[in-house]
A and B are shown apart, each in its own frame.
Chain A
Amino acid sequence: MSVEFGIIGQQLVNGLTLGGMYALLALGYTLVYGILLMINFAHAEMFMFGAYVGLFTLQGLSRIEFFTSSGPALLLLYVLTFLIAMVVTGILGVIIERFAYRPLRHAPRLAPLISAIGVSLFLQNAALLWISSRSIPFPVLFEVRTFRIAGANISSMQILIIVTTILLMLVLDTFVSRTRLGRAMRATSQDRDAAGLMGVDINRVIALTFFIGPALGGAAGIFSGMYYGNIKYNMGFIPGIKSFTAAVIGGIGNLRGAMLGGFLLGLLESLAAAYISTGYKDVIAFAILIVVLIFKPGGLLGESVAEKV
């Protein structure tokens, strides 16, 4: 196969890996926006927090000999690490909503936004002071193999990240479209008061949203740690902005839009890095955002907002 195809294939896989992380994080922005019409600026910190919880869980559990004794045990170790980190990050999300946003539910819209920025600064600085100001290596306990497919080098890590991301998305999509609670979430995002009149406990739905979003964002943080090999207190900032962008490109409030936007942004960035310049990759990505917003202000999958009667 030609060299040209090798580069394209390589960048497509790199882009999907990166895009998967963006998409998982973008889902949190879009879920919260869909229900509260609020941009949760503290969400980027869930990426960081999830990575730290993941690291500590991995360190703690890998001291138990059983988990490193065999292949299946190692797999169990990783599944447990993800589950624990996602649940803990989800709980943090619920706590943040309860104490930083809920008291401001009927305040002017700027108030919860400022509160969110405060939470973000608080979490970043807490991680800086209590853990470390430097980047910490993130251990990878399995052997990363590289496959050469059609001239592109694809690592088992990338495959793991892409497959797990898609799996998490399928679970979320099924939950939202098929279950009773998922239906309650959709109803709440379409008309909160009417959902309340149907018997939906709005506060519970909002808490649930603040569990799911951070849990997914936390998973993305662990992926980032595993992929890049280290984590840092401010690691959420750039992916946070990118993922927010992805959510907007896809149509904020729309779950499939956030997934599409995340993958699209990751792919564009990777291709721009290969074919134009690594220095310009963010310029390209944000130029695309501007173009999308000019022609489709509601985002790619966003519905044009109908006037509420």
Chain B
Amino acid sequence: MLKVNDIHTFYGKIEALKGISIEVQEGEIVTLIGANGAGKSTTLKTISGQLAPLHGSIEFLGEAISGMPSHAVTAKHVIQVPEGRRIFPQMSVRENLDMGAFLRNDKEGIAEDLEKVLDLFPRLRERLAQKGGTLSGGEQQMLAIARGMMARPKLLMLDEPSMGLAPVIVDVIFETIKRLNEAGTTILLVEQNAAMALQVAHRGYVLETGSVVLQGGGTELLRNEQVRKTYLGEV
């Protein structure tokens, strides 16, 4: 479904991605794990069009999407839920969700999806009229994911969804990710919480300073000694 082939992305003169190649098949949860600065978020941003790769290609459903501006990538239903949630603080929860469906015209479909995401996160239903900026961190993350789902993603890319959240909420978020995937959404997940990510993922890539150093099945990586030492904090 998604084929990222040897992309090199720069921040000014700094080469943040030194030839990353990853693949996501339809129906999978694929995770990118790695330390701070390994290039996980940069990879997502390059796919979503916020950054343009200098070399390399990105293909989605057989179509080249590298170098497209982010609104054009969104139009392909490749949806990124950005790091730090980035909900619109002055807009109500309802308006935030409407923004998620910005490119859609099918009123009935939108109303249907609104019900779906509100069933998924009942807490948001209680807060529909509240300003996004007044929600708690966990609620904001729920809103960010719900907003992403409003675009009917073919590929949903989540950037650090557990960051800064209480463990109870992290469990809720990962439970949701699993459920969304079971309901048919393909997911590319970037996480620092490697243990949680590898438990839900079918496959994973380990990134280090802009390159893929290891890849494999989720449980396989979870058992890998190097991964255990470096990312799961075991001695």
Interface residues of A (CB under 8 A from B): 180, 183-184, 186-187, 190-191, 193-202, 303, 306, 308-309
- Complex interface: chain B residues within 8 A of A190 (CB): 88-91
Q: How far is the CA of A74 from the CA of B86 in the complex (A)?
A: 51
Q: How far is the CA of A201 from the CA of B103 in the complex (A)?
A: 10
- Complex interface: chain B residues within 8 A of A180 (CB): 102
Distance of A188 from chain B, by nearest CB (Å): 10
Q: How far is the CA of A303 from the CA of B48 in the complex (A)?
A: 31
- Complex interface: chain A residues within 8 A of B100 (CB): 198
Distance of A241 from chain B, by nearest CB (Å): 28
Q: How far is the CA of A191 from the CA of B100 in the complex (A)?
A: 14
- Complex interface: chain B residues within 8 A of A187 (CB): 88, 91, 99, 102
The interface centre, meaning the residue of A190, A197, A200 with most chain B CB atoms within 10 A of its CB, is: A197
- Complex interface: chain B residues within 8 A of A308 (CB): 84
Q: How far is the CA of A198 from the CA of B147 in the complex (A)?
A: 9
Question: Can you list 18 A-B pairs, Cβ within 8 angstroms, ordered by A?
Answer: A183-B98, A184-B102, A187-B91, A187-B99, A190-B90, A191-B86, A191-B87, A193-B70, A195-B88, A196-B70, A196-B71, A197-B74, A198-B103, A199-B75, A199-B151, A200-B71, A201-B71, A303-B90
Distance of A255 from chain B, by nearest CB (Å): 12
Assess whether B79 is interfacial by the CB under 8 Å rule: yes
Q: How far is the CA of A180 from the CA of B95 in the complex (A)?
A: 11
- Complex interface: chain B residues within 8 A of A183 (CB): 95, 98-99, 102
Given contacts A194-B82, A194-B87, A194-B88, 18 further A-B contacts (CB under 8 A): A184-B102, A186-B91, A187-B99, A191-B86, A194-B86, A195-B99, A196-B70, A196-B71, A197-B48, A198-B71, A198-B99, A199-B75, A199-B151, A201-B69, A202-B69, A202-B71, A309-B84, A309-B85
Q: How far is the CA of A187 from the CA of B90 in the complex (A)?
A: 9
Contact between A193 and B86, CB atoms less than 8 A apart: yes
The closest CB in chain A to the CB of B105 belongs to A180
- Complex interface: chain A residues within 8 A of B102 (CB): 180, 183-184, 187, 198-200
Check A193/B50 contact, CB under 8 A, given A186-B90, A199-B151, A306-B89: yes
Assess whether B43 is interfacial by the CB under 8 Å rule: no
Q: How far is the CA of A229 from the CA of B37 in the complex (A)?
A: 63
Q: How far is the CA of A187 from the CA of B87 in the complex (A)?
A: 9
Contact between A198 and B74, CB atoms less than 8 A apart: yes
Q: How far is the CA of A202 from the CA of B70 in the complex (A)?
A: 9
Assess whether B9 is interfacial by the CB under 8 Å rule: no
Q: Mark B46-84, 1 if CB is under 8 A from A, else 0.
A: 001110000000000000000001110011000110101
Interface residues of B (CB under 8 A from A): 48-50, 69-71, 74-75, 79-80, 82, 84-91, 95, 98-100, 102-103, 133, 147, 151, 164
Ranked nearest first, the 6 interchain pairs of A and B with the lowest CB-CB distance are A199-B103, A199-B74, A194-B86, A196-B70, A190-B88, A198-B102
Instruction: From A193, A200, A201, A306, give the contact of B82 (CB < 8 A).
Output: A193
Q: How far is the CA of A285 from the CA of B9 in the complex (A)?
A: 51
- Complex interface: chain A residues within 8 A of B89 (CB): 190-191, 306
- Complex interface: chain A residues within 8 A of B50 (CB): 193, 196-197
The closest CB in chain A to the CB of B80 belongs to A197
- Complex interface: chain A residues within 8 A of B90 (CB): 186, 190, 303
Q: How far is the CA of A177 from the CA of B48 in the complex (A)?
A: 28
The closest CB in chain B to the CB of A309 belongs to B84
Q: How far is the CA of A31 from the CA of B99 in the complex (A)?
A: 20
The interface centre, meaning the residue of B75, B87, B99, B103 with most chain A CB atoms within 10 A of its CB, is: B99
- Complex interface: chain A residues within 8 A of B75 (CB): 199
